[in-house]
């Protein structure tokens, strides 16, 4: 039986590319929750993180503005020879990832609210999603909700102002607590038993959620699923870093 082997130059090319960095970006510090998960799960990879804080939040920007920023940042990361990109932002993912995938040939992983696992998790089939304003009205996001909700009731709660306060280091302020609590009151009035964090900034206030919400309400975020999808894509495209450093003992 004939055995088909990959050309040597292709193997060497893939091996060289596998040591290149993974680019990760968000409209600020929110994507660090995903960055930290990737760093923990894929410690052998080199990561470059871009926090676009100057243009944060994306949630109150137009689609055209968000697409323009995403393309500028992606091109900068590509210029640094990144082998894959992670859009660590829910708003940027739902608005800009499709056009970005058409522009670039490398793996591009986005962040989408954990609607499907939330539907599986929920017992009473009443699910809340905290999002930015831009995500809440985005048709791609709404189509995703409609696709996976099945017979569940899904309540979308836009949370304008939260990202701005996190970015300005006011996470532990009374202003932040009052604003967050006003949104949580609206969503918990729906008798939800599962809450999806639809923005990568939102895991930063997970402790506050646990203080406010009943222990019966499950909280769903996306850092681990995104990391697992990134790993699958790297393996599929033979881009995962398998470089082994040899340590000599004397």
Write the pLDDT tens digit of every residue in 2-51: 444 444 444 445 556 889 999 999 998 889 999 999 999 999 999 999 99
What's the CA gap between 250 and 233, in Å, rounded? 39
Comparing 85 with 3, the larger pLDDT belongs to 85
Preceding amide of 201 cis, omega within 30: no
Joined together, the tokens standing for residue 201 give 């900034």
**Percent of the chain residues past pLDDT 90, beyond the cut:** 76
pLDDT for 122-135, tens place per residue?
Answer: 999 999 999 999 89
Angle value at C-alpha 24, between 19 and 29, nearest 5 degrees: 140
**pLDDT greater than 60 at residue 92:** yes
Choice among 37, 82, 159, 199 that is catalytic:
199
List the one residue out of 41, 17, 194 whose CA is nearest residue 121. Answer: 194
Say how far residue 64 (Cα) sits from the centre of its chain.
20
> Catalytic site residue 37?
no
Strands of 47-51's sheet, edge to edge? 47-51, 22-26, 84-87, 108-109
Confidence class for position 250, pLDDT limits 50, 70, 90? very low
List the one residue out of 187, 218, 180, 186 whose CA is nearest residue 202. Answer: 180
pLDDT for 67-76, tens place per residue?
Answer: 999 999 999 9
Cβ–Cβ under 8 Å, residues 95 and 164: no
Cα dihedral 176, 181, 182, 183, rounded to 10, equals 100
Cβ–Cβ under 8 Å, residues 85 and 77: yes
Joined together, the tokens standing for residue 70 give 């995403």
Choice among 37, 82, 89, 159 that is catalytic:
89
**pLDDT greater than 90 at residue 109:** yes
Angle value at C-alpha 109, between 183 and 21, nearest 5 degrees: 120
Q: Where are the alpha helices (DSSP H) in 42-149?
A: 63-79, 90-103, 115-121, 133-137, 139-148
Looking at residue 188, its pLDDT comes to: 93
Looking at residue 57, its pLDDT comes to: 86
> Catalytic site residue 89?
yes
By the 10 Å C-beta count (0-12 exposed, 13-18 middle, 19+ buried), 226 is classed as buried
By the 10 Å C-beta count (0-12 exposed, 13-18 middle, 19+ buried), 239 is classed as buried
| 65 contacts: CB under 8 Å, gap ≥ 6 | 55
């Amino acid at each position: 039986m004939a055995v088909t082997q990959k050309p040597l130059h292709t193997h060497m090319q893939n091996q060289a590319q596998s040591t290149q960095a993974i680019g990760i970006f968000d409209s600020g510090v929110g994507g660090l929750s995903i960055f930290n998960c990737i760093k923990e799960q894929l410690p052998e990879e080199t990561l470059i993180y871009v926090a676009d804080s100057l243009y944060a939040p994306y949630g109150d920007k137009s689609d055209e503005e968000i697409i323009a920023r995403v393309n500028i940042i992606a091109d900068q990361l590509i210029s640094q020879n990144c082998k894959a990109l992670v859009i660590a932002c829910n708003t940027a993912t739902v608005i800009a990832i499709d056009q970005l995938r058409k522009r670039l040939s490398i793996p591009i992983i986005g962040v989408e609210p954990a609607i499907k696992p939330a539907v599986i998790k929920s017992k009473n089939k009443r699910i809340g999603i905290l999002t930015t304003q831009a995500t809440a009205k985005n048709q791609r996001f709404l189509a995703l909700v409609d696709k996976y909700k099945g017979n569940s009731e899904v309540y979308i709660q836009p949370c304008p102002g939260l990202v701005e306060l996190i970015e300005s280091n006011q996470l532990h302020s009374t202003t932040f607590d009052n604003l967050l609590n006003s949104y949580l009151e609206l969503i918990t009035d729906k008798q939800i038993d599962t809450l999806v964090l639809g923005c990568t900034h939102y895991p930063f206030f997970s402790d506050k959620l646990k203080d406010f919400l009943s222990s019966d309400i499950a909280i769903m975020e996306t850092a681990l699923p995104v990391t697992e999808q990134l790993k699958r894509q790297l393996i599929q495209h033979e881009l995962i870093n398998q470089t082994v450093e040899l340590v000599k003992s004397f």
